[in-house]
Structure 1
């Protein structure tokens, strides 16, 4: 079991960890209060590219949780940062919503549906046969294919919803071109998160509900990892992978109790000063 009292930085996924759709998960308010009361550094690192950090802040506020905009980093921002580094001033044809479009715009990337340098895919309601057809032909004409994240699904209130990995796969199949994904488990996104917290990987923990993105990204970045069973994963999920998280919890609400138990155990073990 991780001693959460000795962890300085907490990086957490959101969908399936903090909420399902627009429903806050049990124990989340207590977890956030514990982080703030104990002066912990924390960052919500999400593969959902739909919302901007401001949009995520407002979504949390509607659920009664006050979290500053600086505590969010999205796969849309990671995608924009990657393209800005690779090809400053490039252009892109984009299938996605405000979070992705705004991040690309802020990075100086020009929208272009004629001869773009890149085709960039996130999630969004403007996903259609027409947009897929356009994307396929642009890729076949030489545009490079980029995905915000490789997740194939995400938890919602009444089940799952297809995510970027599923939505981009028809383009990959039709063109024979494999996409490059910028979100978790891409180590570039994890390194950015640690840099934002000004925290070493050995002093940080990654919390998530997916073995194939959250846990592997934390493990490969040298962080302790917590798999929570409040989202996609189940106890049976662990049998599918050749690696394991440091700890498995029912949800983030368990963390304050485990921290308190560790502190009590430490105080009982401490030698008397008399």
Structure 2
């Protein structure tokens, strides 16, 4: 399938479902002829539906801010009815899995904390595998502290093995930056929960971990190691917890540079949804392509004809 020439087009009429599911898929991978393209798009989507495990990004895929995106309840219901394994995989290290569970519950989606995996949890897992008695000094929020504590990482400012930086509102101060720089210069390993430069906030974009850790990198003369997407390590940890291989799994996300790239380098199938940060006009900026491009996750369940 990967060798088939492809481009992306918008369905001309979403109101008609007579040509099978071509109109349900608002944006699909198609070949250079419409007839072959429709067939290829449906073959690809059927292939995606057969996957055993679904790894799903959250912001821009499941919700925007406090609002659930169209088609999400139907998608979640389909996952459950089909007995799919699934996890919500987010680069956000600010919230705990319990808080994310409560957030979705407030939107009408009842999900247990075990269905969430954050970049904070990925950082905690990384540190616990890198040292027998891991210690860390942290700039971050409750989500990061909770994940580190659960993984047995001891928080200290006395010769820590790691300096870990995640999203934070209160702890990110000039004094914290200065302390982090000196700890790293003296031998601590610099870890970032993700390399994202910005993320969605209440009034637009807000700086994310990649931007917050940059002054520490520059001043200390050290490069941070980022554990969040697109690092394949994070996605492999999730697949390991589900007991599946990459060939059985698919990543559903809205970011080419994190979700799709990370899944591609892990060997997973990929679905890009255009309900978030990426538009079809952005695709030419990348040398790689997802397996299928959809308007949103509501296009993944098959259409039920009345």
Q: Deviation at 1:29?
A: 1.4
TM-score computed with the length of structure 1 as normaliser = 0.90
Moved more, 205-214 or 194-203: 194-203
Counterpart Cα distance in 1 of 2:69 and 2:130: 38
Q: Is the counterpart of residue 94 in structure 1 residue 138 in structure 2?
A: yes
* 1:157, distance to aligned residue in structure 2 (A): 5.4
Matching residue of 1:118: 162
Aligned to 1:202: 247
5+ long unaligned stretches in structure 2: 1-40
Instruction: Find out whether 1:150 has 2:198 as its counterpart.
Output: no
- Whether 2:123 is the aligned partner of 1:79: answer yes
Give the alignment's TM-score, normalised by structure 2.
Answer: 0.81
Runs of 4+ aligned structure 1 residues displaced above 4 Å come to: none
Instruction: Write out per-residue CA displacement over residues 60-94 of structure 1, whole angstroms, 9 at most, x where no aligned residue.
Output: 11111101221111111111111111112222110
- On the 8 A contact 1:209/1:229 being kept in 2, the answer is yes
Task: State how far apart, in whole Å, the 1-side matches of 2:104 and 2:168 are.
Answer: 20
The corresponding residue for 2:303 is 260
Return 140-149 or 109-118, whichever deviates more: 109-118
Q: Work out whether residues 92 and 120 of structure 1, in 8 Å CA contact, stay in contact via their aligned partners in 2.
A: yes
What is the Cα deviation at residue 145 of structure 1? 0.4
| Residue 35 (structure 1) aligned to one of 79, 89, 103 | 79
RMSD after superposition: 1.6
Q: Deviations over 1:188-239 (max 9, x none)?
A: 1111111222222222210111111100111111111011112211112211
Q: Which residue of 207, 218, 226 maps to 1:173?
A: 218
Q: 1:233 aligns with which of 257, 275, 278?
A: 278
In structure 1, C-alpha distance between the alignment counterparts of 2:229 and 2:238, rounded to whole Å: 11
**Residues 5-24 of structure 1: per-residue CA shift (max 9 Å, x gap):** 31221101112111223222
Gaps of 5+ in 1: 265-274
Of Structure 1 and Structure 2, which has the larger fraction of its residues in helix? 1
The structure showing larger relative contact order (alpha-carbon pairs under 8 Å, at least 6 residues apart) is 1
The 2-side partners of 1:6 and 1:83 are apart by 35
Match of 1:5 among 40, 45, 49: 49
Q: Is the 1:95–1:121 Cα contact (8 Å) retained in structure 2? A: yes
Q: Please give the alpha-carbon distance, in whole angstroms, between the structure 2 residues aligned to 1:10 and 1:249.
A: 15
Which is worse superposed, 76-85 or 126-135?
A: 126-135
CA distance in structure 2 between the aligned counterparts of 1:234 and 1:9, rounded to whole angstroms: 25
* Residue number in structure 2 paired with 1:271: none
Secondary structure (helix, strand or coil) at the match of 1:248 reads: strand
Aligned residues: 260
Matching of residue 63 in structure 1 with residue 131 in structure 2: no
My pick for the range that moved more, 88-97 or 16-25, is 16-25
